[in-house]
Amino acid sequence: MTDRYCVFGNPINHSKSPLIHAEFAHQTQQACEYTAEETPLDGFVGAWRAFVDAGGRGANVTVPFKGDAFALCDTLSHRARRAGAVNTLILGGNGRTYGDNTDGIGLVRDLTYHRVALAGKRLLVVGAGGAVRGILEPLLAEQPSEIVVVNRTADKAEQLVSDFADLGRISGGGFDALNGTFDVVINGTSASLTGELPPLPDTIFAPHAWAYDMMYGAEPTVFLQWAGPRGAKLLDGLGMLVEQAAESFFLWRNVRPETAPVREILRQSLNYQ
């Protein structure tokens, strides 16, 4: 019997998740299928219930439903509670819904894959939305010397600092409060989707620094195009997408797939569009 999984989102036609999970299933010889389900903006709970009734065993959740998924769950993982959002749903044997968030561990594993050191380093995270909330706990667990969160609306960054201050050294506010240089700069905003650039100073990168954009595409994002000439080494969010998917797959199937070949397949799929 083939187990069914999917990703819920709106819009969702652009999603690479079905390709990723098809490769994982083939690689690990798991009998499962994975589809993309475009969900009405006010219809997430009904869509999940209908999917379960049709035999669904679990799902990924993307924009704009991660908060709806959080509210839906009967049980939440620790990291989902910290993130305040769920991107992975698992149907338990008792019919209860378990929620987890694999975004942050996906980011950290991607950085580790590329040998980006975090321990003892100074990190800047740009943005204060749900995407950033989901990555702060795993980043702080890597014991950087400091994480600074900046956002156009300073209050939102300050709220995140308050929410995560018990986990490590973290500070933040508006862009005007920035000072010094950083070893890793992570763009957690959606500005790259609209070709906008966060108002960062040109002198922000320490020697040998990394610039990471959680967005990705066939071409470097505007943020990465800006960071490269300023001396930073560049990474986009494609690897994070694959790694968070691998963690979801492990939660569903108790088998951990190899991500390196899927990274390559996904990169090629972007280049040949």
Residue 71: CATH number of its domain: 3.40.50.10860
Q: pTM to 2 decimals?
A: 0.94
154 is in an annotated binding site: yes
Looking at the fold, whether 110 and 228 belong to one and the same domain comes out as yes
CA 167 to CA 10: how far, in whole Å? 33
Are 63 and 129 in a shared domain?
no
Residue 151 marked in a binding site: yes
Position 14 scores a pLDDT of 86
Domains contained in the chain, number: 2
Q: Which domain holds residue 162?
A: 104-236
Beta strands (DSSP E) in 64-204 are 75-76, 88-91, 97-100, 122-126, 146-150, 170-173, 182-187
pLDDT (0 to 100) of residue 272: 62
Same domain flag for 65 and 130:
no
37 plus 14 within the same structural domain: yes
Flag whether 237 is marked binding. Answer: yes
- 108 and 232 in a single domain? The answer is yes
- Tokens read off for 263: 């990274």
Catalytic residue among 66, 79, 109, 121: 66
Report, in angstroms and rounded to the nearest whole number, the Rg of the chain calculated over CA atoms: 18
Q: Which two tokens stand for residue 265?
A: 């397949």
Strand segments, DSSP code E, in the chain are 3-9, 32-38, 56-61, 75-76, 88-91, 97-100, 122-126, 146-150, 170-173, 182-187, 205-213, 233-235
List per-residue pLDDT tens for the chain, 273 residues long. 789 999 999 999 889 999 999 999 999 999 999 999 999 999 999 999 999 999 999 999 998 999 999 999 999 999 999 999 999 999 998 899 999 999 999 999 999 999 999 999 999 999 998 889 999 999 999 999 999 999 999 999 999 999 999 999 999 999 998 999 999 999 999 887 788 899 999 999 999 999 999 999 889 999 999 999 999 999 999 999 999 999 999 999 999 999 999 999 999 988 765
Q: What is the pLDDT of residue 192?
A: 77
Examine the domain organization and report whether 229 and 261 are in the same domain.
no
Q: Are residues 115 and 228 in the same domain?
A: yes
Q: Is 233 a catalytic residue?
A: no
Same domain, 183 and 154: yes
C-alpha–C-alpha distance, residues 1 and 37, integer Å: 21
CATH of residue 176? 3.40.50.720
Alpha-carbon gap, residue 243 to 235, rounded angstroms: 14
d(CA 64, CA 129): 12
Predicted confidence (pLDDT) per residue in 172-229, tens digit: 999 998 999 999 999 999 887 788 899 999 999 999 999 999 999 889 999 999 999 9
Angle, alpha carbons 211-213-118 (nearest 5°): 50
**Residue of 233, 230, 224, 181 lying closest to 206 (CA atoms):** 181
Residues 47 and 114 grouped into a single domain = no
**Pair 7, 79 in one domain:** yes
Q: How far apart are CA 99 and CA 44, in angstroms?
A: 14
Q: Are residues 87 and 115 in the same domain?
A: no
Would you say 153 is a known binding-site residue? yes
164, 87: one domain: no
